[in-house]
Structure 1
Amino acid sequence: MKLNTIMKLDTIMKLDTTMKLDITMKLNILRKLGTIMKLDTIIKLHTIMKLNIIIELDTLMNLDILMKFVLMNHCTSRWIFVQYTREKNSIKQQNKYENKNSERTEHWLST
C-alpha cells in the first residue's frame, strides 16, 4: 500500500479489505475513512483498483456518485457496480408497477 500523504494510516489499516490506489489526487481527504458517510469525499480519486472495498463499507448510503469515477480496473468491481445499478433500476421499475396497480385497484373499488 502506497499512501504518502495520509495523516492517520491506522484508520485505513483497520479496514477488513486491502486498498490499492495507484493514482490519487487528494489523499488527505481519506483521513477518517472508517466514518465516511458520503462517497463524495473521495470523488477526487481517479483510479481505483478495487472498488468493492467501497461497496463493502457499511456506512455508505448513496452509491449513485460512483458513476463519476473515471476508471475502474477490477473486473469484480465492474460487475458489482453494474449489478448494483441493475438492481436499483429494477427496484424503481417494480415500485412504478406497484403504484400503477394500486391506482387501478383504488379506481376499481371506488366504482
Structure 2
Amino acid sequence: MVVPKGQQPRREREWGFAMADGTAHEGGSGDNDGGMVVYWRPGCPYCMKLRLRLRFSGLTYTEVNIWRNPDAAAFVRSVADGNETVPTVTVAGRAMVNPSKRRITDAVRSHAPHLLPDAKNT
C-alpha cells in the first residue's frame, strides 16, 4: 500500500488497547517501544491459529497485515531469509518466525514482562 505524502496510513488493530498506527514497525525492529507485533496475512492457517490463541492470552500486541503494508512485508523478508513467512512475531525487537504461543510467552516474560496480563493491573 502506498500512502500519499501527508496522509495517514491504514491503521492496524492492537489487541488490549486502542488502535495502533501501521507504521509502528519503522526502524526495522518491529516494535521500538518494547512491544509485540504479529505480522500476518489473510488466508494463512498458521496465522489464524496463532492469532486466535493470542487473543485469549491477554497479551497486548499489534497485528500488521503484510499484504497491506509493504514496509512490514520487507521487514518480514529481512528476518525470514528473504521469504514472507508468517506469522512472524517481534517481542521487544527480537524476531521469531512461525513461533509457538509458548515461545512467544517465554519471550514476553524474558524481554517484555509489561505486556503480560498481570502487569496491566499493577
Q: TM-score, normalised by structure 2?
A: 0.24
- TM-score norm. by structure 1 comes to 0.26
Greater helix content: 1
